[in-house]
């Protein structure tokens, strides 16, 4: 029996666990299941991913037995034009969950969670016709990372090993709550995101519509857009290639 079986009965409805030893990508595997009629709420956990990826195809570092790599099937009960809010809602859910084990976690817009200026979790949200697959990777018990990778883990930050199942349960509980606020109550979600916005007050370089720009981040708008002052003018960035903080 894998360690996650112990928390399966504690999952809020309709969430339930499917554990696999190895898959190519949890997002791809779960999307296939969804297309074949799997109902909402399935949480697919893989001990090992042979083709795990982050945003824009970046490889996700997740040694077997050390981290959490899982995807969640969600069918949002809100208009489709609001589905984009899921990325920030899930980011807040993960940040709040890891704060059960370590001090303040921050959110790097739009889909990373940071602790002490290092990445501790990544989120990949992929929408289909009538469902969304939310992929989450969290560094739980890793003690070392490849050279050049600015990452950390719950074990490094807390000074001890953490039960992965306990982290998973906290994340799912928070997602269950925040997914109900995608329409009504999203302002409360944004308050939590703003409090943890890692980019606010930093000089950044980013690419939007194929144009490379630099600016100063003023904060986040009401719909989650990044507010960047570029050459004296405030721009509202809804989507961008990876945002890099200058000097990091």
In CATH terms, the fold of domain 203-245 is SH3 type barrels. (2.30.30)
Whether a cis peptide bond, with omega within 30° of 0, leads into 183 is no
| pLDDT at residue 206 tops 50 | yes
| pLDDT at residue 1 tops 50 | no
Domain ranges of the chain: 3-195, 203-245
What average pLDDT does the segment 238-244 reach? 89
Cβ pair 105, 37 in contact under 8 A = no
HEC per residue, the chain: CCHHHHHHHHCCCCCEEEEEEEECCHHHHHHHHHHCCCCCCEEEEEEEECCCECHHHCECCCCCCCCEEEEEEECCCCCHHHHHHHHHHHHHHHHHHHCCCCCCCEEECCCEEEECCEEEEEEEEEECCCCEEEEEEECCCCCCCCCCCCECCHHHHHCCCCCHHHHHHHHHHHHHHHHHHCCCCHHHHHHHHHHCECCCCCEEEEEECCEEEEEEEEEECCCCCEEEEECCEEEEECCCCCCEECCC
Per CATH, 3-195 and 203-245 having the same topology is answered: no
Q: What is the pLDDT of residue 174?
A: 97
| pLDDT at residue 187 tops 80 | yes
Q: What is the pLDDT of residue 62?
A: 66
What average pLDDT does the segment 195-206 reach? 97
Q: What is the pLDDT of residue 68?
A: 95
| pLDDT at residue 77 tops 80 | yes
pLDDT digits (tens, 9 = 90+) for 3-62: 898 899 999 999 999 999 999 999 999 999 999 999 999 999 999 888 766 555 556 666
Q: What is the pLDDT of residue 148?
A: 82
pTM over 0.85: yes
pLDDT digits (tens, 9 = 90+) for 58-75: 566 667 788 999 999 999
pLDDT digits (tens, 9 = 90+) for 82-141: 999 999 999 999 999 999 999 899 999 988 999 999 999 999 999 999 999 999 999 999
In the chain, the percentage of residues whose pLDDT exceeds 70 is: 95
The answer to whether domain 3-195 has CATH 3.60.10.10 is no
Q: What is the pLDDT of residue 196?
A: 97
């Amino acid at each position: 029996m894998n360690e996650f079986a112990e928390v399966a009965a504690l999952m809020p409805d309709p969430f339930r666990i499917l554990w696999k030893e190895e898959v190519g990508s949890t997002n791809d595997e779960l999307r296939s299941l969804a297309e074949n009629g799997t109902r909402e709420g399935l949480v697919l956990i893989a001990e090992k991913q042979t083709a795990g990826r982050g945003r824009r195809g970046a490889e996700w570092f997740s040694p077997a037995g050390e981290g959490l790599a899982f995807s969640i099937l969600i069918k949002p009960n809100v208009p489709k034009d609001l589905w984009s809010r899921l990325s920030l809602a899930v980011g807040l859910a993960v940040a709040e969950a890891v704060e059960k084990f370590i001090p303040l976690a921050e959110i790097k817009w739009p889909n990373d969670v940071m602790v002490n200026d290092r990445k501790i979790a990544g989120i990949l949200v992929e929408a289909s016709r009538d469902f969304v697959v939310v992929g989450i990777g969290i560094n739980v018990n890793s003690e070392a990372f490849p050279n050049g990778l600015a990452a950390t883990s719950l074990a490094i930050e807390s000074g001890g090993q953490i039960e992965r199942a306990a982290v998973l349960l906290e994340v799912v509980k928070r997602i269950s709550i925040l997914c109900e606020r995608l329409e009504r109550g999203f302002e409360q979600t944004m308050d939590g995101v703003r409090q943890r916005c890692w980019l606010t007050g930093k000089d950044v370089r980013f690419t939007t519509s194929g144009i490379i720009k630099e600016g100063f981040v003023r904060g986040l708008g009401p719909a989650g857009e990044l507010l960047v002052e570029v050459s004296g003018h405030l721009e509202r960035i809804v989507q961008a290639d990876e945002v890099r903080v200058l000097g990091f």
